[in-house]
């Protein structure tokens, strides 16, 4: 897409470069943007933190859920009620403590699994694949699969309802930025896959429109002897990602986009150096992004813009209000006390409003909305 040079209006005391060299009278910058971080944007300079509210009444508020408190074991992934959902996306958190006794097939959309804890062996149409902590496993719509667990699995499941996952367009960075597609691993028709083939009774559970159908076979339908093509299950671990960084400019979350689907994107925050230029912001900037609901799942490490959020927690910031770093994180950024992030987090940005299930409310921290108070 061509980017024509266009004038930018300035009013009052401003910095000419976004996210850097802020005016002396205003240490707080707020970005008002459209279409994520791709559309028109204005940068406001404030005397006070835009998150400096002292009271909040009403449902539109930042929310924090400790998924460790609400997860329960189930034999099948779809026995877990969606935690958050809209017509394009469904999020589940699944605890799998036993081998799956049945095969499953999602006829509603592609499934993206993020392995929060545990190890397992995945058997699917395409063969056998070992999966472990930190893996993304992309399962195309209509794929038969099951898991044999090595130890207890906790999985964040992201369904692209009536859609599919693709890789983002990296633009001028080129297709090999963030991760080279050659890093994607695929299942193999190996000895383990051949050994699991038998002539015993097997059942397949198919989900369509959130309703289940059960098919019974007198043989294992995972009986492929070979395949060729460019559609398959793939996996990549967060450790294989090479974050895009700039020592002079704080990059927006869109720089960390890992997968895209219709009306939402999945981004991954992984350890990286913090900006070193004296004038550059060193924490995420305050922003009023009024087009997307933002969901963050905290996998590991210390999320450098948040306080007191532990592994296995999930935050949900609905569209419509300004959000940004907590006061302690913002102060640490100004002081330049941290040189490197150790966070690992999965972000899901949804173009359409999400709704939550009643079961998630028991895991909510009602004081999260007050955590921006200095």
- Which residues fall in the annotated binding site for Fe cation? 287, 293, 323
Active site residue 250: yes
Contacts of 100 (CB under 8 A, 6+ apart): 75, 76, 146, 147, 148
Which residue is catalytic, options 250, 256, 299, 317? 250
- State the distance between the two ends of the chain, measured CA to CA, in whole angstroms: 43
Query: Cα(349)–Cα(341) distance, rounded to whole angstroms?
Result: 21
Query: Binding site for homogentisate: which residues?
Result: 323
What tokens appear for 292 in the block? Answer: 């997307």
Query: Binding site: which residues?
Result: 287, 293, 323
Q: If DSSP codes are grouped into helix, strand and coil, which group holds residue 334?
A: helix
Residue with tokens 């986009």: 257
Phi, psi angle pair for 12, to nearest 5°: 75, -155
89: nearest Cα among 356, 364, 314, 361? 356
72: nearest Cα among 367, 359, 332? 359
Contacts of 171 (CB under 8 A, 6+ apart): none
Active-site residue list? 250
């Amino acid at each position: 897409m061509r980017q024509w040079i266009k004038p930018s209006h300035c009013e009052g005391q401003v910095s000419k470069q976004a996210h850097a060299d802020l005016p002396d009278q205003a240490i707080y910058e707020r970005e008002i943007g459209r279409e994520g971080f791709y559309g028109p944007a204005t940068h406001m300079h404030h005397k006070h933190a835009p998150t400096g509210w002292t009271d909040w009444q009403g449902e539109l508020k930042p929310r924090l859920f400790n998924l460790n408190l609400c997860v329960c074991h189930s034999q099948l992934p779809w026995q877990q009620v969606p935690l958050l959902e809209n017509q394009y996306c469904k999020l589940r958190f699944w605890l799998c403590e036993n081998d799956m006794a049945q095969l499953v097939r999602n006829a509603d959309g592609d499934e993206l699994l993020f392995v929060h804890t545990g190890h397992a062996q995945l058997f699917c149409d395409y063969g056998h694949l070992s999966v472990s902590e930190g893996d993304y496993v992309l399962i195309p719509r209509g794929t038969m699969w099951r898991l044999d667990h090595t130890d207890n699995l906790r999985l964040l499941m992201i369904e692209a309802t009536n859609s599919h996952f693709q890789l983002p367009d990296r633009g001028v960075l080129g297709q090999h930025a963030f991760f080279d597609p050659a890093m994607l691993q695929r299942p193999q028709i190996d000895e383990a896959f051949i050994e699991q083939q038998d002539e015993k009774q097997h059942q397949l559970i198919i989900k369509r429109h959130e309703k289940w159908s059960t098919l019974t076979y007198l043989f294992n339908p995972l009986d492929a002897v070979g395949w060729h093509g460019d559609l398959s299950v793939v996996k990549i671990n967060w450790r294989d990602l090479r974050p895009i960084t700039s020592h002079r400019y704080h990059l927006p979350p869109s720089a960390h986009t890992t997968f895209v689907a219709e009306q939402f994107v999945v981004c991954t925050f992984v350890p990286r150096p913090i900006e070193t230029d004296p004038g550059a912001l060193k924490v995420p900037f305050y922003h009023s992004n009024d087009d997307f609901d933002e969901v963050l799942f905290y996998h590991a490490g210390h999320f450098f813009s948040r306080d007191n959020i532990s592994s296995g927690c999930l935050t949900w910031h609905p569209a419509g209000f300004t959000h940004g770093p907590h006061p302690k994180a913002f102060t640490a950024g100004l002081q330049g006390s941290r040189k490197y992030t150790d966070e690992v987090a999965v972000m899901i940005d949804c173009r359409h409003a999400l709704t939550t299930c009643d079961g998630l409310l028991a895991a909510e921290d009602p004081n999260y909305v007050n955590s921006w108070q200095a």
